Amino acid sequence: MAKEIWKPGNMLYPLPAVLVSCAGRDGRDNLVTVAWTGTVCTNPPMVYISLRPSRYSYQLIRETGEFVINLTTEGLAETADWCGVKSGRDVDKWQERKLTRGAASTVSVPIVEESPVNIECRVNQVLELGSHHMFLAEVTAVQVSDEYMDGGGTFRLSQAHPLVYSHGEYYSMGKWQGKFGYSVKKGKKARKQIR
Ligand SMILES: Cc1cc2nc3c(=O)[nH]c(=O)nc-3n(C[C@H](O)[C@H](O)[C@H](O)COP(=O)(O)O)c2cc1C
């Protein structure tokens, strides 16, 4: 297969596009769409978000060291895009997008009630990398919407239709391909396990 060689850049896709909620010391809160995010450690559970210092949200998170990662869905796609082009300096994104502030359990930042998963975070370190500063944070609590819990106590995130961001475009999640470890399980049954 022939290849084109490109200059160095960001091509690690697909990614989630999450809604990060944050609040300043005086309680003014905001939402910002973030794709530069991920999990970095299982124990202790740690995540990161990378923000440009010019973002209004950057100032708020610097002040309190707290934020919540709210996962997005197909139903929240337009809101995620909108919150990624408007600034909280000019608009109340919660009000404009009719989002509901809910109570976090460990941080003083509201969660987005409409999101199926809310990951409460406290910043450990800020790495000033360049265009973006990386907030390395410990997860202090996770809230999940019980409507996606099945009768057996399993959380079915796929039923919330998570939003996927890939090279500047939004997608829904694709076709189910198998379960963790299915490649080493014997027989066709492994692929057909009921989810
Ligand atoms: C899909 C998407 C992903 C984005 N990812 C990031 C990101 O990872 N880091 C960042 O600083 N800005 C990112 N942005 C841009 C901010 O969301 C945008 O500048 C926003 O208006 C800043 O809001 P604020 O000024 O209220 O904080 C993204 C925007 C979109 C639409």
pLDDT at 189: 59
What is the DSSP pairing of strand 101-102 with strand 37-41? unpaired
Q: Work out how many domains the chain is built from and give that number.
A: 1
Domain-embedded: residue 9: no
pLDDT digits (tens, 9 = 90+) for 63-100: 999 999 999 999 999 999 999 999 999 999 999 999 99
pLDDT of residue 122: 98
Query: Burial code of 79-102, b = ≥16 C-beta within 10 A, e = fewer?
Result: bbbbbeebebeeeebbeebebeeb
Domain that holds residue 89: 18-192
pLDDT of residue 46: 98
Question: In this model, does residue 195 exceed pLDDT 50?
Answer: no
Per-residue pLDDT of 100-139, as tens digits, reads 999 999 999 999 999 999 999 999 999 999 999 999 999 9
Residue 52, ligand 1, Cβ within 6 A: yes
88: in domain? yes
The finding on whether 30 has its CB within 6 A of some atom of ligand 1 is: yes
- The reported pLDDT for the residue numbered 186 is 76
Write out pLDDT tens, residues 6-32.
999 999 999 999 999 999 999 999 999
Q: CA 95 to CA 101: how far, in whole Å?
A: 10
Rg of the Cα atoms in the chain: 18
What is the pTM assigned to this prediction?
A: 0.96
Nearest CA to ligand 1 atom 31: 84
Q: Which atom of ligand 1 is nearest to the CA of 81?
A: 31
Residue 192 has a pLDDT of 56
- State the CATH number of the domain containing residue 130: 2.30.110.10
Residue 45 CA, ligand 1 centroid: distance in Å: 24
